[in-house]
Amino acid sequence: YGDRIGDPRVFVSDGDALRRVLYEGYVGTFEMQWTFPVAQHEPPFTLMVSDDDGVLRMGLLTGTVQADPFAIGVVGAELTVVDDAAVDGRAVYNYVSTVEFEYAARAADGRTVVVLGPEQSEDYDHYRLFLGTDDLVEHEVLSFVREQDGGTTTIDFTAGDGAATAWFPTPFSPELSPTLTIDGDVVDLVAVDPGALDDAVYLCR
What 3-state class would DSSP assign to 197?
helix
Residue 95: DSSP 8-state: P
In this predicted structure, what is the pLDDT of residue 2?
Answer: 46
Residue 179, pLDDT above cutoff 70: yes
**Quick one: 145 exposed, middle or buried, by C-beta within 10 A (0-12, 13-18, 19+)?**
exposed
Whole-angstrom distance, CA of residue 158 vs CA of residue 140: 5
CA nearest 189: which of 197, 200, 171, 177? 177
Whole-angstrom distance, CA of residue 153 vs CA of residue 178: 10
Give CA torsion, residues 144, 19, 22, 147, to 10 deg: -10
Helix count (H) and strand count (E) of the chain?
0, 19
Residue 3, pLDDT above cutoff 50: no
pLDDT tens track for 145-172: 999 898 999 999 999 888 999 999 999 9
Residue 201, pLDDT above cutoff 60: yes
CB atoms within 10 A of CB 78: 15
Beta-bridge mates of residue 78:
59
pLDDT tens track for 73-121: 999 999 999 988 988 989 988 776 678 899 999 999 999 999 998 776 6
Beta-bridge mates of residue 17:
14
In this predicted structure, what is the pLDDT of residue 126?
Answer: 83
pLDDT-derived band at 122 (thresholds 50, 70, 90) equals low
**Can you give the pTM of this predicted structure?**
0.59
Whole-angstrom distance, CA of residue 3 vs CA of residue 142: 30
Region 32-55 average pLDDT: 90
